Amino acid sequence: MGTLLSCALLGIDAYPITVEVVISGGNLPCYQVVGLPAASVREGTARIRSALDHVAQPLPRKKVTVNLAPADRRKDGAAFDLPIALAVLIADGVLDPAPLDGLLLMGELGLDGGLRPVRGALAAALLARQLGKRGLLLPAESAPEAAEVEDIEVYGAADLGELLAALRGEGELRRVLPGSGAAALTSPCTADMSDVRGQASARLALEVAVAGGHNILMVGAPGIGKTMLARRIPTILPELARDEALETTKVYSSLGLAPRGLVRERPFRAPHHTISTPGLIGGGSPPRAGEVSLAHNGVLFLDELPEFNRATIEALRQPLEDRAVTIGRATGSIRLPASVLLAASANPCPCGWLGTGQRECTCSAGAIERYRHKLSGPLLDRIDLQVFVPQLPLSALRESPPGESSSAVRARVEQARAVQRRRLARFGVRTNAEMPPPALRATCRLTERAERELERLARVRGTLTGRGVDRLIKVARTLADLDGASDIDADTIREAAGFRALDSLSAVHPSAFLGGSPKPPAAAGKAAAAGSSS
């Protein structure tokens, strides 16, 4: 018998699979795989046979039985090719298993014996460390990603012939060290916040959203810069910490989208409004991560939010609240990370001109009502910042000086986030938007005037729910952090309330979206005012 350790993916996590091979006599040669293999695993017979022929180690002309244990879980993918091929050689007595002791193996074989990259290399490395194994053996292209996990050895090979030579002592296994792979997810961004002319309130809202990790919805007429503003959010986001980079890479690796190494840039995902619910939230068979998980530790931008299928955007409720997606199946459930900053844009009506004062709205009352009902109250309640982006006169767009640069805004954001990390470290969260109720009570001290102002707002706004009050306080905490204040005063509560004044998309005047212009934080006020010409 030849026995080796491999693994399979369930969601974004790996679980161990034992590969067992027995070669026995029989009247006719036979090759059989048992243990609930999917079609991609059964088809590996042809790949393994051809690859072994290329290295002059043909499959034995006997009865070969391959078992993938545990047998009650379905096995999918081509990553079992390498461990099965080596286990066959061990069972046939032509390969010594000693050099493979303590290693977890994954790899897809080409017909010529080449080793192709596999999904889930990072998850496999984490599993190997968890199981106390000494390391992994992977295709050369997947090894740099796994090498980022500490305290394990990672070896890479380009083809089966090279690997067999090393295992026979005719060479050495190639050790892959951390940092040996590429480290980019996308091409460098050339956009900058200085490209935005005017729109001081919207710029400030973005700064507050990024500083505290708050969700934001921008409403306004077509072509006024909502998408332009949203696509500049990545330029003011702080860098990924190492633990965040590992989490993000793990998600991308499960779908085969990770670069050679860690993902170093915060994701920015902008799916089209025709996306399905499983495509956005995750699902399928086997379950896979959706766009909300691909945006983990980054930004999920939903342009023209009311144009999305209502059931699809309503499915965002639980991920926005729990910062994770739970997908249930008859055989069990999986949990996918989904800690995202949701940025969304919308028009005030189907034609886009309701209440803008620029053009006459051509929508019927019924069309406006249907459009408004695409966004439910519970969903809007989970969006901390809801701002109206006004139409600027042509003179403001043409004559205004460039706005404040992304680097200046990013410096304030990083300073505010550093304060939050220190304050919230004992609660296991990083930003104000993630605060659980105990952290909210312990870290968000309101002055007496602020408490009275909060009670007044709750009384005046009948739509302010308990969740809405908590989120308003979190936004106020972020405003205080940008100001460098330890407590939350009444003025800060009013500023936070000004960012949550969007009660519906059927308002007839921009003032109905805002309820007053918020006062910029002390650190940002002067610079933001300089970037506005109206």
CB 304 within 8 A of CB 347: yes
pLDDT band at 503 (very low <50, low <70, confident <90, very high): very low
Of 228, 233, 96, 252, residue with least CA distance to 164: 96
Instruction: Indicate if 130 and 267 belong to the same structural domain.
Output: no
* Per-position DSSP letters for 3-32, written without gaps between them: EEEEEEEETTEEEEEEEEEEEE--SS-EEE
Please state, in angstroms and rounded to a whole number, the distance separating the CA atoms of residues 313 and 374.
Answer: 9
Instruction: Indicate if 434 and 304 belong to the same structural domain.
Output: yes
Mean pLDDT across the stretch 225-236? 92
Residues 244-301 have pLDDT tens digits of: 999 999 999 999 888 778 888 899 999 999 999 999 999 887 888 999 999 999 999 9
pLDDT > 80? residue 90: yes
Range of the domain at 362: 193-530
* In the chain, % of residues over pLDDT 70: 90
User: Whole-number mean pLDDT of the chain?
Assistant: 87
Give the pLDDT score at 507: 39
pLDDT band at 516 (very low <50, low <70, confident <90, very high): very low
Domain stop point among 175, 206, 232: 175
Instruction: Indicate if 403 and 476 belong to the same structural domain.
Output: yes
DSSP-derived letter for residue 101 is T
Q: Work out how many domains the chain is built from and give that number.
A: 2
Residues 390-406 have pLDDT tens digits of: 877 776 667 777 778 99
pLDDT > 70? residue 188: no
pLDDT band at 463 (very low <50, low <70, confident <90, very high): low
Torsion of CA 283, 288, 292, 298, to 10 degrees: 170
Domain stop point among 140, 175, 210: 175
Which ranges constitute the DSSP H helices of 158-218? Answer: 160-167, 200-212
Instruction: Indicate if 170 and 218 belong to the same structural domain.
Output: no
Q: How far is CA 343 from the centre of its chain?
A: 14
Lowest-pLDDT range, 91-100, 240-249, 328-337?
328-337
Instruction: Indicate if 165 and 208 belong to the same structural domain.
Output: no
Mean pLDDT across the stretch 169-188? 71
> Does the residue 68 lie in any domain?
yes
Instruction: Indicate if 115 and 40 belong to the same structural domain.
Output: yes
Please state, in angstroms and rounded to a whole number, the distance separating the CA atoms of residues 534 and 531.
Answer: 9
Residues 337-354 have pLDDT tens digits of: 999 999 999 998 888 888
Mean pLDDT across the stretch 177-197? 68
Residues 438-458 have pLDDT tens digits of: 999 999 989 999 999 998 888
Residues 353-370 have pLDDT tens digits of: 887 777 888 888 888 888
Query: Is the model's pTM score more than 0.85?
Result: yes
Instruction: Indicate if 48 and 164 belong to the same structural domain.
Output: yes
Q: List the CATH number of the domain containing 66.
A: 3.30.230.10
> Does the residue 112 lie in any domain?
yes
> Does the residue 211 lie in any domain?
yes
Query: Structure tokens of 381?
Result: 């309640």
